[in-house]
């Protein structure tokens, strides 16, 4: 028994030493290294594209007149493009140079974005059911419509023409005394119309149309956010695996 214990200890020591030597000789997986580089290169190109288009929209007067996009939205796109470019650069350099520091920066940055994305998705799901109530409270301030500014009334008429709706919350009565021709539903199926003061008008208030549009776009945004989250999980896994392999090299 006294001879067996030293033998087992020596065997264990030799096995641990062999494992350490094998890890050192294995080094960094070339497949994982270049996959990580390619992934982040595409990430960086996407950032360049977003940043370039955003800056063009910000400085081009022709773009402002043609597209009429909100400046705050353009500024947000510039910030997003710059962040994506920075993360892509850290990931590319960290992979090709086998730099643990850059890979760690990439991992932390991507993890923070992933957490923010998940938090935004959860808040979107939670407040999705409350969106119609909040929209109703906002629209109540603009009733009766005929007492609002001409620009606002023109926007509502365009909305009514597009959505085949009338009024904001209660239908045609939201307009007060003057009901515009955009509420007229002649030529549409009778199920979409209702008689109001001797005129056939759209039955659906524009609140229902807006709620449907918001719900539809929210579903698309949540789907895109989920897809991005899956891609980010792959990026997090790649970067951490490469980080650990470089550490054991």
pLDDT in tens, 124-155: 677 766 766 777 788 888 888 888 888 888 88
Answer yes or no: is 64 within a domain.
yes
Q: Give me the number of domains the chain comprises.
A: 2
Q: How far is CA 143 from CA 146, 175, 233, in A?
A: 8, 7, 48
CATH number at residue 180: 1.10.1450
pTM of the model: 0.57
Answer yes or no: is 126 within a domain.
no
Q: Helices 206-247 and 131-139 meet at what angle, rounded to 10?
A: 130
Answer yes or no: is 161 within a domain.
yes
- Please give the residue range of the domain that contains residue 187: 132-204
pLDDT for position 191:
67
Answer yes or no: is 125 within a domain.
no
Answer yes or no: is 149 within a domain.
yes
Based on the fold, state whether residues 110 and 171 are members of the same structural domain: no
Answer yes or no: is 13 within a domain.
no
Based on the fold, state whether residues 177 and 111 are members of the same structural domain: no
Average pLDDT over residues 67-82: 71
pLDDT for position 12:
45
Answer yes or no: is 7 within a domain.
no
pLDDT for position 22:
42
Based on the fold, state whether residues 184 and 236 are members of the same structural domain: no
Q: How far is CA 60 from CA 46, 67, 74, 100, in A?
A: 21, 11, 12, 41
| pLDDT band at residue 88 under the 50/70/90 scheme | confident
Based on the fold, state whether residues 107 and 162 are members of the same structural domain: no
pLDDT in tens, 170-200: 888 888 878 888 888 877 776 678 888 888 8
Based on the fold, state whether residues 97 and 173 are members of the same structural domain: no
pLDDT for position 211:
80
- Kindly give, in sequence order, each residue whose CB lies less than 8 Å from that of residue 92, ignoring residues fewer than 6 positions away: 37, 40, 41, 44
pLDDT for position 64:
54
Based on the fold, state whether residues 107 and 155 are members of the same structural domain: no
- Annotate 63-86 with b (16+ C-beta within 10 A) or e (fewer): eeeeeeeeeeebeebbeebebbbe
Answer yes or no: is 210 within a domain.
no
Q: Which residue has the higher pLDDT, 135 or 111?
A: 111
pLDDT for position 21:
38
pLDDT in tens, 9-50: 444 445 444 434 343 434 556 777 777 788 888 878 888 888
Based on the fold, state whether residues 139 and 72 are members of the same structural domain: no
């Amino acid at each position: 028994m006294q001879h067996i214990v030293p033998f087992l200890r020596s065997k264990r020591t030799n096995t641990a030493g062999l494992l350490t030597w094998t890890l050192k000789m294995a080094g960094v997986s070339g497949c994982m290294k270049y996959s990580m580089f390619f992934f982040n290169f595409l990430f960086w190109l996407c950032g360049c594209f977003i940043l370039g288009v955003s800056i063009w929209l910000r400085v081009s007067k022709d773009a402002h007149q043609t597209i009429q996009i909100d400046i705050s939205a353009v500024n947000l796109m510039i910030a997003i493009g710059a962040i994506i470019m920075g993360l892509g650069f850290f990931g590319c350099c960290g992979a090709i140079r086998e730099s643990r520091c850059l890979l760690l920066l990439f991992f932390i940055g991507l993890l923070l974005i992933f957490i923010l994305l998940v938090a935004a998705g959860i808040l979107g799901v939670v407040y999705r059911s409350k969106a119609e109530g909040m929209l109703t409270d906002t629209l109540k301030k603009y009733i009766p419509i005929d007492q609002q500014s001409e620009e606002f009334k023109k926007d509502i008429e365009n909305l009514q023409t597009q959505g085949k709706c009338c009024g904001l919350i209660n239908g045609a009565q939201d307009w007060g005394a003057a009901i515009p021709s955009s509420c007229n539903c002649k030529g549409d199926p009778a199920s979409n119309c209702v008689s109001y003061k001797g005129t056939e008008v759209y039955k659906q208030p524009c609140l229902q149309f807006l709620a449907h549009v918001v719900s539809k776009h929210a579903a698309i945004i949540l789907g895109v956010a989920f897809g991005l989250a899956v891609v980010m999980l792959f990026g997090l896994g790649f970067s951490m695996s490469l980080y650990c392999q470089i550490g054991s090299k």
